[in-house]
């Protein structure tokens, strides 16, 4: 039995198999929509503020 996942773009159930060349997407269209969103910088990864450096004189 194949694992079912949700297409990240449209939410349609998709079988996670080698025969699905678009996995985890359901189609070429959903794959291209997602790629376009990345290209337009609609997705972001939140930055974590680095810790302040300690004063070496202390």
Per-run averaged pLDDT (10 residues), the chain, 58 residues: 91 93 95 94 81 62
Contact of 38 with 25, CB cutoff 8 Å: no
Choose among 45, 48, 25: nearest CA to 35.
25
Q: Is 30 annotated as a binding residue?
A: yes
Report DSSP state, residue 58.
-
Per-residue confidence (pLDDT) for residue 30, from 0 to 100? 96
- Residue 29: enclosing H or E segment and its boundaries? helix 28-39
| Domains, the chain | 3-39 (3.30.50.10)
Contact of 5 with 24, CB cutoff 8 Å: yes
Look at the pTM and tell me if it is higher than 0.85: no
Dist CA 6 CA 27 (whole Å)? 12
Q: Is 25 annotated as a binding residue?
A: no
């Amino acid at each position: 039995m194949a694992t079912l996942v949700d297409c990240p773009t449209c939410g349609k159930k998709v079988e996670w198999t080698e025969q699905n060349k678009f996995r985890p997407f359901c189609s070429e269209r959903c794959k291209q929509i997602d790629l376009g969103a990345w290209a337009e910088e609609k997705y972001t990864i939140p930055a974590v503020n680095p810790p302040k450096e300690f004063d070496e004189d202390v």
